[in-house]
Every structure is written in C-alpha cells, then in structure tokens.
Chain A
C-alpha cells in the first residue's frame, strides 16, 4: 500500500517541488509503521491516509478544533499541524491505542455512560486530551477540566456531559484513567 502511494505522488509537479519523499518509521500505539511521506505531509495525513488509522479526525486542518488530537510522548498535540517527520522517533498514541483490546478505558466507559458524545466526530480528540490531563493530574477540579479541554470543540453536546464524564473518572467513580 505504501509503495502504491509513492508511485501515485511522484507524478505531480508539487511532489517534485516539495523534494524527495522518504520512508518514515512512525511508532504508533507501540507498533512501527513504515510510511512514505513528503516533507509537508502532516502527522494527521500519515495516520489517516498511510497507516489507515482513521479514528483520528480531520475537522479544520488548522489546529482550531482538536478533533485530530493525539499523544506524542504523552503530550496532547494537534496532528493536523504537526509534520509527520517531527513524529519520527517519538511515541505516538492514537484513539486506537486507548482501549485495552475489546475493553473500553475507564474514561471511554464514562463518556458512554454519561452520554458525553453525540455525533462522535470530536470524541476521539476529547478522549486523547482528557487522557493526557488525567495522566498529569488524576483528580482535576472542574475549572481545570474546562481549561484543559477548551481546545477541543464539540458542536453537539454543549460540553456538560463531557465535563461530567471526566469528573466521574477524576473522582474515582469509573476506576481512574488508564
């Protein structure tokens, strides 16, 4: 599949102008993916279009909505404004790496139980941001939850149930973050 992607892209003037593509090794959820990327390929594109990890969402393409949030060495970053080359040698965690096999993480379970999702398009990004928050501070107050998740936009829920779901985990009702 990667070889196919290379053959496709070298035909374009843009591809030539952007310089040579090369094979990057991206460590995603503990697995090494070899992907052919141009210097301007974003991490979001590499994840979605080359590694076929489509759980990470494209909402705005300019770092404004948080739908593309992933963890890089544990830090929540926006993959649509991060170049794939910057992710080489780093440890990437996406929504596909959050649940334990067929079992939801406590945070994911709390989102389900509290109705903290509707259309679901922003949900992977929220889970990644909240996972980072709870790893740093397992018991955040409501104000800190709001401040730390304010970079993730949701148009459906009005955020109430998202805050409640994170609070439930923070207060131990859902067994702590993983």
Chain B
C-alpha cells in the first residue's frame, strides 16, 4: 500500500481563493494602456457570394481606428487539425452560415466599434443552402465548399473481424436508427482575446480564453505570417470550455492583426449570441445500428453508420469521426464490427469538440439499442451488458491494451445500488430505472503533437516553482499537477507554485482535450519531479548516511525508510547543497508522450489509441409527469473506474457536472436551427439545468491501480458525460414503455407518445 501525503487528498484548487474573491483574471478582465475595442460583422445569409462590402461609413466614424475584410489579410486558412484547415479568419468570396465573419472593426471604445460594425453594408448573391447532412450528401445538393464534392469532408470506414460471418452466426439481427441533436457547451465565460504588439522586436502577445495555447500559436503564425518565435500566447483563467475553446476563432486572428497594424493593444469579446452561433456545438448525428446477437444476448456483430452534421467548417472533423469510430470498441467486446462515419458540411453553425467528442452520439444509440434488444429477446438489460463486458488483459479487436478494467464490477455495483432487481419493470407506471455504460480514453495516442513537458525549480528557500504547458480551464489541471509535484518532491501543497499555459515560458503541451491532461501532463510533472530527486537525493543520502533508494520524503522532511528517526529537513539539505558548491535553483525537467508504436497513425492505423481507459456504469431513476410530460430525474449514480484519483474532490466535481450536462442533453438543451437561423442563442431561450433540477447523486469508486497513469490515475473529465443521457432515456422507457430514438426527449414527445399509447390501447380494447 502506497502511503501518500498530497496525492489522493481532497485538496482545494490552488487558485480557489482568487476565484472566490473575484481576483482571478479572465481575458475580459484584462485592461492594457491605450487598448482598442473590436467588433465583428457577421453574415446574415446562410450561403452566399460576397458581391461587395462597403466600409466607407464605418471608416469615417470618429473614433474608428481600423476596418478590415477578408481581402485585407493574408489568404491563409486555419484549423485545429492540420490536414483539415478550411476556415478564413474573415470570409473572402463566400459566406457559409449565418454568423460567418465578414469584416472586423476596432475603435476607441466598445460602443463606437459596435456602431461602426452596424454601418458596414455587405451585398450578397444568395446561393441555395443545405441544412441537413442527409440532404447534403444527395447528388445535386448545394456545395458548401466547392472543393468538397458530396459535402463529405471527412470519413472513416473500419472493419474489425468479419461482419457478414458474424451476422450469419447470430440468432437475431436488429436494425434501429437514432438521432442526436446540437448541444451547446455554454461555458459561463464568453470567448475573448486581447493582443498587444512590440514594434521594436516584432513580438506579438495574445491573451486568449483557450484550451490549446500551442495550437493557437502555430495557427496565428501560419495565417498572419508572423514567425512562431515572435508569438506568445498566454491563457488567463478560463471560465469553462468543455471543448468549445479547443479551437481558434476570428477574435484571436483579428485582435492580433489589428494590434500589429495599429501598434496598440486590441480586445475582442464575444456576446452570448455569438458564442451560441459562431463558435462550436456538439455535432448532431444520424446513426443506424445493425446488431447481431445470440439468444443469450451476446453481441456477435455490429454495423454502425453515422452521418455527423458538421455545419459550415471542419473544426476537428477527421479527429471527431475517428474517435467516434474507435471508441465504440469499448466497453463491450465486439469481435466483428464495422463503423462507417461521415462528417458532412451544411450551412449551419459549426460542430466541434464537446465533452466526449463524437462518442456520446453512438453511445446513446448503442445503449438504447441494447435495452431494446434485451426487451425483444427476453434477457435482462443489465445481464446483457455484463455478458459483453471487456476484461483487462484480453486481446482487443482494435489493438487496445487494457491494463486495468473495472467495467464488469461497475455494471454490478450500479445495478445493485439503483435497486435494479427490485425496481426494473416493477415500479408504478410513470416511474422507472435505467442504466447505461461507457468507457473513455485518457487522451489519445498515435497522433502528432501529444507530448507534454514540465519544468520544476526548487529554490534555495525551498519554494517549488512549476512550469507546465497544461491548460487549466477550471477542471483543476494546475492543482492536480501541483499535487503530483508536491508528493514527489516531498513538500506540502503550499510550497508549490505553478505557472501554466504561457507559451513564452512553459514547455510544450498539446492542450486540454481528449481527457488526457492528468495522465499526460501529470506524467510529465512526475518525471520533472523525479529529476529533482535525482539531483537532490545524493546529498540527502550523504547527510543521512544511507542509500538513495532508502529515502522517504514528505512535508519538507527526509528520512530513512526503516529508521524514521534518522531524518533531515529540506532547509538543511538545501544549505548543504549550496555548501558543496552546487548551483541553485535545482531544475528538474520532464516530458511524457503516450507510448505508441509510431506517431501520426491515429487516423489510419489500429493500435493502442490511449495510455489507459476509464470505465463506468451510470444508473438513473426518473419520474414522468403523465399530465405535463415533464421528466423528473430523481437519482443518478455512477460506478466509476477512473483508476486512483489524484484529487477525489475534483473527480467528484467532474462527475457531478457531467450528470447535470447529461440531464440537459437528454431532456431539453437543444440549439435549434431552422433554415440556418439559430432560434435560441441566449441563456434564456436555450436553458440548461439549474439548481432546481439537481437530482440525488451517488458515486461508487471502482478501485483499480493503473500502471501507466501517474500514481495509478486515469481520466475523469469526459467519460462521465457519455452515459447519463442514455441512462435517463432508458429509465423513461422503463417508466412509460416508450422507446425514444432521438434526443432530447421533450415533454411534447412524451405527451404525444402517451396519447398514441392510449389510442392503441383503446383500439385493442374495441
């Protein structure tokens, strides 16, 4: 049993006091001398050719300092996935959705910038538009991008095993179709960017609410044609991201362009409508599942066909559809599987990474279909999941290496805790229980730029300074990294000070996505802390008269493992370190990349696509109001294998937040878009769960100790977002006997289904 002092503890976030007193600085809180304010002009048509843009009135307005259109900046496209770049900071010839950026202004204050933006007139030649991916792939459909015939900008076709032989060997084959809708991340902090430029050195600094500082830096360099070494991206506090800030936007490019052109700092701040309309949303997806099972419920073969509504641009398209494909291969063992996925352009707001990234959609379909199949063939839905459960150490059809797996236990524990045996199918009409399962990678491997670096400095006073590239967006990455360093160096949390996500100071990091930060950046921090030990411990060993591997360290104290009375304090050791003429601070460096056979193969090759995998089963109990059709989620519990939590309090926070997000996804959050126009781009009209919708929650820790994760940790940020929605919809099916196949399940849908049910019953009675 490992004895740990800082890791595994419920340590408050290191910046909690700054946040709770209002002192924490988010991008819009920053003010620089002489700062100008920007505003973007956005397309009012869903698809059109720009005939002319008249900026004369805007330019003439007193206080306006700059106006640009797409023709005034370099003709360079940007994008988070290098091979899928398709977006201009400002549109050049064409606009592709309502909200597409066509011009930008800066002025001495915000209201002047807004007035100038209103004075810009754009003349469009409207083009036929397409709003549904299934229409967009039809022959003769309007092309959103002329270079993409059929509007399919990314696709994947993967076959594992022998699908047709699998279907032939099945006792039953079922085909069902599902649809999932657009959910907005709705981070509380609207997107913002602030840039400044040093005219002497040619240095550009951008403060941006981003999850991916280093990708942003690279794209700024290539699009604005500024050498990368002259660009510094600093991530201030970020007020939530959930994947929406795993991308870069017109505000970043325009702030930098104007700062360089005008020699003054420039800030752009999006309003809430812009966040809804012109950043990113969860991809709507059409899914068809053809599944062959044995009469006991063993899944023999499965074919999944998916059409994702990508909106007007790619964002993460190839990555999203690849993740969607590979990670349907967990947590069930499916020997014969085909996944065919398409990312389709439409003239709508852009799909992007959102907590779960392409996986909640098939997860909903799979978990719904398992319940439906179980009912059809007369097996228990919980037992059926157990029968198909992945186990650790087994060969995996896609080549995943599953070192630790608490999945089967999670099914048992969650079923027991929700009262499956007593409640499933046995509660009064209107009340029901449901479960759903999930697994998630701790970041992806086999892809370019997935390394993290870390530098740890131990000063002569014993202050530990950490430099990490990891981007804390509120989930607590900095705290987790600081805990790992504190544990390993042997100091309390308060001795550790972390500076992160500043590309000018910190080592390279991929950023916050794929739920990989704790394992990847955490292991880099662990390696850097080990480097400190390698330099410091010979001096400790000499002082204690022992071998290096006999030393224990905690709370600024070093002692001999089997003789704790022989000890020495950190201050004494650092003094001795200096006396023998060694230089301080001691600097430890570390890096880590997920082990992989070769780099840049994720999009084409099979293999172990993640350092490790979390597993979970979530169970929900719901009550359906038969008069109003409203669903009350009474209880959600999660049996969770996330390895050894570095900070259980933060893991709980991830889980609890995911459950509320899952309730919204299941029941009402829906970014409605009709003919390309979003109809609810505000918090009032969109509506996500409030404190009133808070169900009873329970977490059950399934204990595993992963060999790859730092101190046995696995991911805990995204996997928990996969199963709440299908668990809730499965519980609704148990409550009222209706199998919904699309999200969200609204009161209207429930009332219509209940009415149909009554009419059918009356028909049978006659």
Q: What is the interface of chain A, defined by CB distance below 8 A to chain B?
A: 5, 8-9, 11-15, 48, 52-65, 67, 94-96, 98-99, 104, 108, 111-115, 117-124, 127, 145-147, 149-163
Contact = CB atoms under 8 A, between A and B. Distances in A.
Q: Which of B12, B115, B650 has the most CB of A within 10 A?
A: B12
Given A11-B108, A120-B239, A160 B656 contact: yes
Contacts of A162: 691
Contacts of A95: 21-22
A12 B656 contact: no
B111 A14 contact: yes
Contacts of A155: 185-188, 240, 242, 657, 661, 688
B237 interface: yes
B657 A156 contact: yes
A155 B29 CA distance: 20
Contact of B694 (A12, A63, A96, A159): A159
Contact of A119 (B111, B115, B240): B240
A148 to B, nearest CB: 9
Nearest to B659: A158
B111 A153 contact: no
B555 to A, nearest CB: 21
Nearest to A97: B22
Nearest to B62: A11
Nearest to A114: B649
B112 interface: yes
B238 A119 contact: yes
B237 A120 contact: yes
Contacts of A113: 12
B168 interface: no
A155 B721 CA distance: 13
State the main secondary structure of chain A at its contact with B.
loop
Given A118-B240, A162-B691, 20 more contacts: A11-B62, A12-B112, A14-B111, A57-B239, A59-B189, A60-B684, A64-B682, A64-B684, A95-B21, A112-B20, A115-B653, A119-B187, A119-B238, A119-B475, A120-B239, A121-B187, A155-B688, A158-B658, A160-B652, A161-B652
Interface in B635-671: 649-650, 652-653, 655-661
A112 B697 contact: no
Contacts of B18: 120
Contacts of B111: 9, 12, 14-15
A64 B688 CA distance: 11
B112 A11 contact: yes
Contacts of A108: 17, 20-21
Contacts of B237: 119-121
A112 B683 CA distance: 27
B476 A118 contact: yes
B697 A111 contact: no
24 contacts: A11-B62, A48-B29, A57-B189, A57-B239, A58-B28, A59-B188, A59-B272, A60-B683, A61-B271, A104-B21, A111-B16, A115-B12, A118-B240, A119-B239, A120-B16, A121-B188, A121-B189, A150-B692, A151-B690, A155-B185, A155-B188, A155-B661, A158-B656, A159-B690
A122 B112 CA distance: 29
Given A153-B188, A158-B657, A13 B22 contact: no
Nearest to A63: B684
B97 to A, nearest CB: 22
Contact of B188 (A8, A55, A63, A67): A67
A128 B657 CA distance: 22
B188 A122 contact: yes
B642 to A, nearest CB: 16
Interface residues of B, number: 63
Interface of B: 10, 12-13, 15-26, 28-29, 31, 61-63, 108-109, 111-112, 115, 185-190, 237-240, 242, 271-272, 473-476, 649-650, 652-653, 655-661, 682-684, 688, 690-692, 694, 697
Contacts of B21: 55, 95-96, 98-99, 104, 108
Contacts of B185: 155
Contacts of B10: 115
Given A96-B21, A158-B656, A12 B188 contact: no
B239 A159 contact: no
Given A59-B190, A115-B649, A121-B188, A158 B22 contact: no
Given A61-B271, A62-B683, A98-B21, A157 B238 contact: no
Contact of A159 (B25, B242, B656): B656
A115 B63 contact: no
B627 to A, nearest CB: 22
A147 B690 CA distance: 10
A154 to B, nearest CB: 7
A63 B272 CA distance: 12
A165 to B, nearest CB: 10
A68 to B, nearest CB: 11
B12 A58 contact: no
Contacts of B20: 104, 108, 111-112, 117, 120, 123-124, 127
Nearest to B656: A158
A112 B186 CA distance: 24
- Nearest 9 pairs between A and B by C-beta? A55-B22, A119-B474, A120-B19, A121-B239, A158-B656, A95-B22, A64-B683, A54-B29, A121-B188
Contacts of A13: 61, 115
Nearest to A160: B656
A86 B655 CA distance: 42
Contacts of B694: 146, 158-160, 163
Q: Which of A62, A99, A114, A119 has the most CB of B within 10 A?
A: A119
A143 B185 CA distance: 27
A96 B109 CA distance: 25
Contacts of A98: 21
Contacts of B271: 61
A64 to B, nearest CB: 4
Nearest to A7: B108
Contacts of A99: 21
B17 A8 contact: no
A147 B691 CA distance: 7
Given A113-B12, A159-B694, A124 B22 contact: yes
Contacts of B29: 48, 54
Nearest to B192: A58
